Amino acid sequence: MNTNNIWNGTNQFNNNIIVNSTNISPIELSYVDGTTSNIQTQLNTNSTNISNVNTILSNNQITSSTNVIDSINYL
């Protein structure tokens, strides 16, 4: 039996939910709270930013004019 459920408004689930045969716990679902765009894109962007900071640090490119705090806050 194939049914489609449509929920509107606020819904409360007290147990795990299954999405496309994947069991998702309330704790796992809470990890995506507050995301505003594709999570993988956000992870890729942060990975690139961290890589850039690591490159600066490993190449000793920090000078008195380098604003490290702004670079870290950007992450």
Give residue 35's pLDDT band: very low, low, confident or very high (50, 70, 90).
confident
| pLDDT at residue 41, rounded to an integer | 82
Radius of gyration of the chain (CA): 21
Distance CA 70, CA 36 (A): 23
As given in the structure block, the two tokens for residue 70 are 């702004």
Q: How far is CA 62 from CA 45, 47, 49, 51, 66, in A?
A: 22, 20, 16, 15, 6
pLDDT (tens digit, 9 = 90+) per residue, 36-74?
Answer: 888 888 777 777 777 777 676 776 655 555 555 555 555
| pLDDT at residue 23, rounded to an integer | 93
| pLDDT at residue 62, rounded to an integer | 59
Rounded to two decimals, the pTM is 0.40
